Chain A
Amino acid sequence: MTLLLPHIFNGLTLGLLFALIALGFTLIVGVMEVINLAHGSLFGLGAYFALTIIGAGWLSDTTFGVWWLSLPIAPRYILALILGPIFAGLAGMVLELALRRTYGKVPLYGLLLTFGAALVIEELIRLGWGTGEQFLQLPQSINGAVLIGGLIFSKYKLFAAGFSMLAIAAVWVFLEKTPYGAIIKAGAHDSEMVRALGFDLARLRLLVFGLGAGLAGLAGVIMVPIWGLRPHVGVDVVIPAFLIIALGGVGSFWGSVTAAILVGLSVGITGAYAPAWSMMSMYILLILVVGFRTRGLFGKKSALEN
């Protein structure tokens, strides 16, 4: 058991990171009943924006760029952590404008449109940032290792897990404790009534999609130091996110958080015994659960089932 303890801890950390990855996806699925297959690409986009902000990008030769690069890494990282997700969110809003044409039609169309968008974003990333593997610089204070109870942990992983808990709490507060959350949820439930009450549903949807895309970008900035960054990072991300939603059940916020932690645990513990197969365990987990429970762990009835 004591031998297993670090793996369980690792799995929990990983689970929290998975939850962060799935957060924006859950928000959009739960509220708008749109499967955003471009989620992974927006994740990549946010990370690439952060990369450019930290490295000053095209401005690196100008006096501003030189001044910016002379600053210590911490303020540059913090700015990237804020602006990267915002840019990803804006890209998401553009996508939402295109998606409008599919509302009220077969749910498949939304899925296909975002699938095409994922392809387009990935190619744009290749065009803008090249095809090679890239790395994000980190401030010293969250880099390196730390010793807790005789075990070595990566400081950054702890930071990322803590950050992920904060993000989950923030989204939950937004959905459950603010009037915006109430309107958004009502809009998902009965859009006609919400419109009749005088709320601008089109703007709300734009906001939610932007928020979901922004969360994807945030997850990108946070996760990339752990996973590395390449143009096709989107596929590596959208599949676990997708899986977590199905496992937790469409439309359930805590369902997807629970599912993410379960996935993290199963990947972490499998990793202890058969590292080569660790990522496969999540697919088996999904098949076992959804094989027996039609709507995942806590799923509700959804238009996406048709």
Chain B
Amino acid sequence: MVTLSDISRRSGQWITPQIAVFALVLLSLPFWIGPIGLYQYIGVEIAIWIIFALGFNLLFGYTGLHSFGHGAYLGVGAYAFGLFQLHVGVSLFGGLLAAILAAGVAGAVVASFVSHRRGIYFALMTIAFGQLFWFGAVKMHWITGGEDGLLNIPRPDLNLGVTSFDLSGNTALYYLIATLVIVITILTWRAVNSPFGRILQAIRQNEVRASFIGYEVWWFKWVVFTLSAMFAGLAGGLFSMAQESAYPDVMSLHQSGLIVMMVLVGGGLVNFWGPILGVVLYFIARDVLGAITETWLLWYGLMFVAMVMFKPEGLAGFLAELKRPSEPETWTKPAEEQ
């Protein structure tokens, strides 16, 4: 079986051939998404969720911390962006910065509670905090607008000093988000292949051993949790910009579960590109299956169950096995799978 810890030869590079291809696909998407029968807005959604999923997999796949309440930080980011536009001033960078910071602070507070926890208790605490944020968003209607949420959030222009771009069209918005996705892909790729990334993987494989080597395990867990909450905050800010609204559903348990499903189905447990595959697969399944049947979630759920039963390494694991089928069977159970 392949694992995330199979460090490739080119790991020290900032830009690998895969990243270049990925960037090319992303940037050329507006030209071919119409002809293949999809529409521009799905590109926006996919790009936003890729940011969310990449950050989430730092925690889920690389560090082995199973957060089931990550939708909360997406929601915090969405609200922060909306509140900034509505009450502080219409500004793209201000709003996104507010989203990242707010989600980062929320994540840091939660991380201080959960970074000493493991396994099931970690998962439970993240659910409890996720619900807490969701409850807060529903009940504090004087800030968040309650069940309806914040409506009519303006889409600010991209102001680069010399020139400014109007982002009210979905294609323009897509290019902004795609650029951010590329930057974030490069940063996460570099991060997971850095000494920091190795430590995260050591924590996943065996927390006790990692602490015996001398690493402050809880500190690394705290940092990676906060970091992935910031990613989620950025995604949330972009989401409220795309939707022009922010509402409690964004941070519901449902969203938190969805991101887990996407990352796992794609193969986030075994491959850097897994989360991206998972996000793409989910949105295409939603649109293609959703066009055929109203109960598409039933089929997606069944597919997910089958995936966990027969191929928990996900799509990426499946593809990797196709590539090198000659791997000896005796290596299928590494020590980390206790």
A, B co-complexed: yes
Query: Which A residues, 105 to 143, have Cβ-Cβ distances below 8 Å to chain B?
Result: 105-109, 111-113, 115-117, 119-120, 123-124, 126-127
- Contact A294/B120 with A106-B337, A115-B257, A279-B135 known, Cβ cut-off 8 Å: no
For residue A294, which residues in chain B have a CB less than 8 angstroms away from its CB? Answer: 116-117, 121
For residue A112, which residues in chain B have a CB less than 8 angstroms away from its CB? Answer: 260-261, 264, 304, 308, 312
Contact B308 A113 (CB under 8 A): yes
For residue B309, which residues in chain A have a CB less than 8 angstroms away from its CB? Answer: 98, 101-102, 113
Stretch binding the partner chain, chosen from A15-23, A187-195, A239-247: A239-247
Cβ of B157 to closest chain A Cβ, rounded Å: 39
Contact B131 A291 (CB under 8 A): no
Does A306 belong to the interface (CB within 8 Å)?
Answer: yes
For residue B119, which residues in chain A have a CB less than 8 angstroms away from its CB? Answer: 107, 302, 304-306
Q: Which residue of B lies closest to A110 (CB)?
A: B308
Question: Interface centre among A105, A107, A112, A305, by most B CB within 10 Å?
Answer: A112
Does B167 belong to the interface (CB within 8 Å)?
Answer: no
Contact B337 A105 (CB under 8 A): yes
Q: Which of A105, A243, A246, A277 contacts B120 (CB 8 A)?
A: A246
Does A4 belong to the interface (CB within 8 Å)?
Answer: no
Stretch binding the partner chain, chosen from B31-39, B122-130, B231-239: B122-130
Cβ of A127 to closest chain B Cβ, rounded Å: 6
| Interchain Cβ contacts within 8 Å, total number | 120
For residue B264, which residues in chain A have a CB less than 8 angstroms away from its CB? Answer: 112
For residue A105, which residues in chain B have a CB less than 8 angstroms away from its CB? Answer: 312, 337
> In the bound complex, how far is the Cα of B308 from the Cα of A296, in angstroms?
29
Contact A280 B295 (CB under 8 A): no
> In the bound complex, how far is the Cα of B28 from the Cα of A80, in angstroms?
59
Contact indicator per residue, chain B 181-215, by CB within 8 Å of chain A (1) or not (0): 00000000000000000000000000000000000
Contact indicator per residue, chain B 120-155, by CB within 8 Å of chain A (1) or not (0): 110111011101100110010000000000000000
How many A residues touch the partner, as a band?
35 or more
Q: Which of A120, A127, A283, A306 contacts B118 (CB 8 A)?
A: A306
Does A1 belong to the interface (CB within 8 Å)?
Answer: no
Cβ of A277 to closest chain B Cβ, rounded Å: 7
Q: Which residue of B lies closest to A99 (CB)?
A: B309
Extra A-B contacts (16), CB below 8 Å, given A116-B301, A305-B118:
A98-B305, A106-B338, A112-B261, A112-B308, A113-B309, A116-B308, A119-B304, A120-B298, A120-B301, A246-B121, A246-B128, A279-B135, A283-B129, A286-B124, A302-B120, A304-B119
Residues of A within 8 A of B (CB): 35, 98, 101-102, 105-109, 111-113, 115-117, 119-120, 123-124, 126-127, 235, 239, 242-243, 245-246, 250, 276-277, 279-280, 283-284, 286-287, 290-291, 294-296, 302, 304-306
The 7 closest A-B pairs by CB, nearest first: A123-B298, A119-B301, A305-B119, A304-B120, A246-B124, A116-B305, A116-B304
Task: List 9 contacting pairs A-B, 8 Å CB cutoff, sorted by A.
Answer: A107-B119, A109-B312, A116-B305, A117-B301, A126-B295, A283-B132, A291-B113, A305-B118, A306-B118
